[in-house]
């Protein structure tokens, strides 16, 4: 399952006590800086009609396939998690889950951070496709598969991913390499960006459902303790 790093809601105390949360805050700062150049580029692209291509049938198909791919990954991730293997759960970080999603649980930072992530995800997806697919393919098919698979997965360990998540991300990277070979850079960009945006939406839904349920459990525990 897609998991989120623990975040108590106390921003600066968490930063002081945890070694992993600053990674999320650093990512937040990089997101803010990364918005500056793409805004002007994307604005110019609108005038030349590039984004009108998103209305093309093949691109719509990529969005639907991204949702299906996320569903399959969640199921496979759940299967690996059920193995309860210490090797699969090992990570460089002590926190459980993706540290990038950590600020989403913050009381006042959550929604602004979610909006910022949603704005940055297409930019980051394009950057990853240019590096892990377009650039790697220049060195041959073997290099494309190697960079898109295991190397692509291992890079995500920097955001707190454990071995289980690295396996899932590596397989997804290979799937994106296949999309790149069949449709090209623009198609895999739509697939990648849609996949990440749908995943972000799923994480937000999980959080919004989990918070009321946790409050309900605490209230029921208080009632049962006093009765």
Structure tokens belonging to residue 189 = 């960009």
CA distance 69 to 163: 19
- Domain count within the chain: 1
72-93 as b/e: b if 16+ CB within 10 A: ebeeebeebbeeeeeeeeebeb
Asked if the structure places residue 169 within a domain, the reply is yes
Range of weakest confidence among 28-32, 75-79, 193-197, 202-206: 28-32
Asked if the structure places residue 184 within a domain, the reply is yes
CA distance 7 to 28: 15
Asked if the structure places residue 105 within a domain, the reply is yes
CA distance 153 to 166: 5
Residues 77-131: tens digit of each pLDDT: 999 999 989 999 888 776 566 677 777 877 777 788 888 888 888 888 988 999 9
pLDDT of 17: 46
Asked if the structure places residue 144 within a domain, the reply is yes
CA distance 95 to 161: 10
CA distance 224 to 141: 62
pLDDT band at 156 (very low <50, low <70, confident <90, very high): confident
Asked if the structure places residue 107 within a domain, the reply is yes
Report the half-sphere exposure of 113 (CA within 13 A, side-chain side): 23
List, in order, residues 6 or more apart from 174 with CB less than 8 Å away. 145, 148, 149
Asked if the structure places residue 197 within a domain, the reply is yes
Asked if the structure places residue 131 within a domain, the reply is yes
In this prediction, residues 59-76 reach a mean pLDDT of: 88
Domain hosting 98: range is: 73-211
Report the half-sphere exposure of 179 (CA within 13 A, side-chain side): 26
List, in order, residues 6 or more apart from 162 with CB less than 8 Å away. 88, 89, 90, 91, 96
Asked if the structure places residue 163 within a domain, the reply is yes
pLDDT of 16: 42
Choose among 173, 205, 171, 164: nearest CA to 191: 173
What is the DSSP code string of 66-82?
A: HHHHHHHHHHHHHHHHH
pLDDT of 62: 85
Give the dihedral of Cα atoms 55, 61, 62, 68; nearest 10 deg.
Answer: 140
Residues 17-61: tens digit of each pLDDT: 445 455 555 655 565 555 555 555 555 555 455 555 555 556 778
* Geometric angle at alpha carbon 36, from 9 and 105, rounded to 5°: 15
């Amino acid at each position: 399952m897609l998991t989120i790093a623990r975040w108590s809601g106390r921003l600066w105390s968490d930063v002081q006590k945890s070694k992993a949360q600053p990674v999320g805050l650093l990512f937040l700062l990089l997101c803010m800086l990364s918005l500056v150049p793409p805004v002007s580029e994307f604005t110019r692209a609108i005038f030349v009609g590039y984004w009108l291509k998103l209305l093309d049938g093949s691109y719509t198909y990529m969005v639907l396939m991204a949702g299906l791919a996320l569903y399959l990954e969640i199921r496979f991730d759940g299967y690996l998690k059920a193995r309860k293997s210490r090797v699969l759960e090992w990570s460089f970080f002590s926190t459980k889950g993706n540290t990038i999603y950590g600020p989403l649980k913050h009381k006042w930072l959550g929604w602004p951070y979610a909006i910022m992530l949603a704005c940055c995800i297409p930019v980051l997806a394009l950057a990853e496709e240019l590096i892990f697919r377009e650039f790697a393919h220049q060195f041959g098919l073997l290099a494309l598969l190697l960079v898109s698979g295991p190397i692509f997965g291992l890079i995500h360990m920097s955001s707190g991913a454990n071995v289980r998540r690295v396996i899932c991300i590596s397989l997804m990277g290979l799937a994106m390499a296949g999309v790149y070979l069949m449709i090209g850079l623009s198609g895999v960009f739509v697939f990648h960006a849609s996949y990440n945006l749908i995943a972000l939406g799923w994480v937000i839904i999980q959080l919004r459902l989990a918070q009321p349920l946790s409050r309900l459990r605490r209230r029921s525990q208080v009632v049962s303790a006093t009765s």
